[in-house]
Amino acid sequence: MGNEKAVITALREFVGEREWGQFHTPENLAKSISIEAAELLECFQWGDADVVAAKDELADVLTYCLLLADRLNLEPDTIVMEKLAKTREKYPVAKARGRSEKYDRL
């Protein structure tokens, strides 16, 4: 992916210098992901996408995801790759190609 170390270092510094870590319980960070995801959805509410606003909201979602992973001592690339391996098993290409059904209906 790239500069994720620089990103988490910058986020830790940003949070640390403001003493906001005290507010970043896993529950609060999970709530914040959901809140920011709703703000992202709002960018597409009436059809025409507001891409400039969506970029900022997507960054907010990613930021809180990275902060939650950090808080839980999880490595983002690793957990995504581990989940992708599980999802590959649930959705074999031969069964799932071109279909949107849930794995138990393939």
41/33 Cα distance (integer angstroms): 12
Helix (H, G, I), strand (E, B) or coil at 68: helix
Of 14-73, binders to Mg ion (CB under 5 A) are 36, 39, 57, 60
Residue nearest Mg ion (C-beta atom): 60
Work out how close the CB of 19 gets to Mg ion at its nearest, in angstroms, rounded to a whole number: 21
Q: Are 50 and 43 in contact (CB under 8 A)?
A: yes
CA 11 → CA 31, 87, 91, 97, distances in Å? 18, 30, 35, 38
Work out how close the CB of 25 gets to Mg ion at its nearest, in angstroms, rounded to a whole number: 19
Judged by CB under 5 A, the number of residues near Mg ion is 4
Work out how close the CB of 100 gets to Mg ion at its nearest, in angstroms, rounded to a whole number: 29
For Mg ion, the binding residues (CB under 5 A) are 36, 39, 57, 60
